[in-house]
Structure 1
Amino acid sequence: MKIKLLAALVAATACGTNAFAAEVYNSEGTTLSIGGHVSVGVGEYGSDDDVAVEQVSPRLNIAGTQDIGNGLVVDMKSEWAMDYLDGGDRTFSTRLGYIGLTHEEMGRMVVGTQWSPYYDVGGVADMPIAFANDFLYENQARMGGARADRMVSYRKSFALADDGMVNFGLGWQGEHTSIVLKTDARFQVALSAQMMGFGAGYAYSGGEKEFTVANVTQDATSHIFSLNYGSYGAGVYVAAVFGFNEYFYNNYKETTHIEGLLAYGMDNGLNMSVNYEEAYDEAGKYTLYTQSAIQFEYTVAPSFVTFAAYQIDLGDDFSSTEDDDKWIVGMRYYL
């Protein structure tokens, strides 16, 4: 049971939504692995309406672990986003970079750029390759919605019999300052549980934003709830996420967000899904966006997946242009 808990804690911050890595070294308690994926497709996937060759969140990472005894394991991960279609001076940019310390009884602490405890709860619907949960990534670095910059986090898992687990997480970020916006130190807490294939979670993120030009300071908070059932890619998987925010999402005073995902993974490697996402401005009574995507992913081999997706723009209360539907057909090769 201790090994199960230890693995769950490390996976919480080391993995994100999907993980695949090749171990290149393993000796006397030390491991080193190289992972990531190259993902490319053709479609109307970017910000314009032209059909083009597009990259789909490709990445490269290096991870290592060291058993230092007394139940303690140190691990590190460095991960970079890759821009391999256009070249230029910046082919790589940082996605993750942290050092973690895990104890089988005391829990896990991580320092650096990492997946946040908030995302542990909100990321349950962020599974498909092409189109998934957008609002978590809005200003994620300083707000900690997904990958959080300069974060210190702590996680602890508790086993419930043989088929259940309760997960607790804390996160803290220091001050972030730009020309127009200052984000004071932020704190987040997350609590989730899994039993018999079902999962439920809640997370809170809080801190202050100072709009330096207007000299106005506001509390920037978010409450997020999630429910899920099953394992993505293996049979039926269902997930729903509900977010209630104040000055958390794109500086809107008050917003609500809904994300739903229904997927079915077959034994032959085909995974089909449909998702729905809505963002609503409660203060102004405006629909910011609504969209739904139908997606197919087919695992040709353990390290090679093909995918096709079509996202339907269901409209908003701001745009005067035609619906901005998107689509892509592509492939992903895991390193």
Structure 2
Amino acid sequence: MTAKWMMLTRLIGVAAPCAFAAALYAQSPPTTGSVVEKLGERPMIGFVEDVPTTAEVAGAGQSVALEPHVRVAFVRTWEGWKTACTYGEGETERPECLDLDLIRPVVWTVMYQGKRLGEVETDSWYDPRYYRTLGVLKRMPKTAPRIGKPDQMFASWLAPAAHRPLVALRNIKVAGQIDHAGWVSTKPAPTDMATIHAMFLLAFKAMPNCGAAPGVSQSIEAKHLFVAHSTRNKAGDRLLGVRLDPKFAKGCEGPLGLEWSDLWFHAAADKAPAMLPVEIENDLAPFRMSLIEMSDFDGDGKPEALFWFSSHSVEGYLLVHDQFEQQVRFMWKYQ
């Protein structure tokens, strides 16, 4: 974790000592329970995503071919949720994956917003030579479920637009509609936004005033915040995704700074919002983060949230669990 994000952790801890229950880089503790440990029967979470077929970074005007494959990211063991694969130093290092018995025909159940979309089958690793294909399993010749069209929201270093990743489950039961614990879209409460505004001020202090006075900073005001996500459940818990409104970036020259990152906050029914635990290794560029799915994937009666994230030459997924205070991170790099 970089110095800037460690500072952000301390600042938010000062701003909301009662609400911020864990450091940004909190690790998942071992858990107990009767989880199947038989080879090939462990509950797994993967993602159907667009994988670039070229090994080269696209230049100006160069198109990149994309194919849908499955990237296995998280595995449930008797110790809790674990990252399925990691990589050693150097792009030529082979991946180190848990013994998951996936080099054979394997069927994955694909879901979107709690509903079963269909199935996709894999049979081998896609291409273990590259860091960017960490955990990617080759899809067998058959149409994969997809939602919508390629979008800039999920653009990567190798593609200007990509389909929304879809959750692919293995050894996790999906029976039609999965319980979302009553999470519904809602307008954020003024008190929650006041707390979040204070966190932005402590973390970033100011933002560039690119449109009116390039090179001159201005204090972050409430009007500068853009709520990308706001939901509430039946118990009164809230989940909010907030960032600086992109319209204020118009006129900015050069790459945008860290203050343009997506920040996510969770609040229990009787608590103020606390920033979700996130590990970030780069503080040179904005950190984009989008909620992909939220459901009870391990049957403990509590929801887990799956996020896609992207920053400078890095992308991955976050599984946030344990009352939104712990995380497991799956990450790959392009350089």
Normalising TM by the smaller chain, what interval?
under 0.3
Which one has a larger percent strand, Structure 1 or Structure 2? 1
Structure 1 length as normaliser, TM-score? 0.27
The structure with higher relative contact order (CA 8 Å, sep 6+) is: 2
TM-score (norm 2): 0.27
